[in-house]
Amino acid sequence: MNTNQKKITVTVGIPAYNEEANIINILKSIIRQNQEKFILERIIVISDGSTDDTDKLVREFTEQYPLVELAADGSRKGKPARLNQMYSMNCSDILVQFDADLSLEGNNVVNEMLRYFQDEEVVIVAGNGQPLPGQNVVEKITGASELLWYEARKDWRDGHNIYNNGGCAFALRKSFARMFQMPARTIGDQHFIYLFCIQQKKKFRFAKNAVVNYRTPATIKDFFIQAKRSLSERQIVSRFFDPSVAEEYNIPNFYKTRALFKMLRRRPIYASLAIFLQILLRIIPLREDPLHARGIWESIRSTKTLTPKI
């Protein structure tokens, strides 16, 4: 990462709320990462008032792996507050942030993200979130919806765009993370961080080969709960920046049209149903969840269990 080939130091942060189904899986997959090019100093799990066995499982895990730390004060403060806490706790060169309900694809995910920091102007690097194969019809439809969106955004600006900072996996320079405070009412934290980067005239990079997997909603109810949050992100975050940031959201129609035809050829039935769901989202009025005012949102269960314990 520098001319002296000194290993970069890394802290991994995981904000967690009721993540007992997968928290041990992701901790193990982080520890298994190839660390030839970096030093993993700490893994910090910040529990936002979890009411399940998340805290208990992490405490037990720390007995075997002392580099894992649990920060749990028993209160629910919301993700923005927990991210601010995480950024202030970090002392490493780079903070890598993972959602708790992920699986890392291979042992070089962190390395693939870190290599972009060779450019001193790069302050954010995002991993490539990809949906796991659906286990029922609804999940296959929501998964097709996610893949359709990925096809639309993956090549715009060579992938280095706001939509590819998905929030489930990204890395920040310590110096950059200490330049801002997440506003309390910011459910689109990943968009806020990206726009702040652009405002500071720094660089964002999308690490296409740093693949992490996640489950998409497996029930219609969960789909609409998640969609309610996604549809309001832009409106909430944009008010903190100059109106010119709207340009960051404008994907040319060419990319959308190409993605549409590609997915209809690849998965005609599920892609068609995914398009129908997206049309429904724009027809059915969705009220903003009052929890959003506190930087909190309703948790959905069908996306939490990824794989058997490993």
Note the pLDDT tens digit of each residue in 266-299: 999 999 999 998 888 878 766 665 555 555 656 7
CA distance 41 to 55: 21
Note the pLDDT tens digit of each residue in 173-208: 999 999 999 887 777 788 999 999 999 999 999 999
Domain ranges of the chain: 8-294
Q: Which amino acid is at 3?
A: T
CA distance 6 to 262: 44
Give me the residues paired with residue 94 across strands: 10, 173
Report residue 19's pLDDT band, with 50, 70 and 90 as the boundaries.
Answer: very high
Structure tokens at 186: 């910011």
For position 287, what pLDDT does the model report? Answer: 66
Number of CB atoms found within 10 A of residue 194's CB:
24
Note the pLDDT tens digit of each residue in 137-176: 999 999 999 999 999 999 999 999 999 998 899 999 999 9
Name the architecture of domain 8-294: Alpha-Beta Complex (3.90)
For position 198, what pLDDT does the model report? Answer: 93
Note the pLDDT tens digit of each residue in 33-73: 999 889 999 999 999 999 999 999 999 999 999 999 999 99
Cβ atoms of 275 and 146 closer than 8 Å: no
Contacts 24+ apart (CB under 8 A), 256-263: 256/152, 258/151, 258/152, 259/148, 259/149, 259/150, 259/151, 259/152, 260/148, 260/152, 262/151, 263/144, 263/147, 263/148, 263/151
Report residue 3's pLDDT band, with 50, 70 and 90 as the boundaries.
Answer: very low
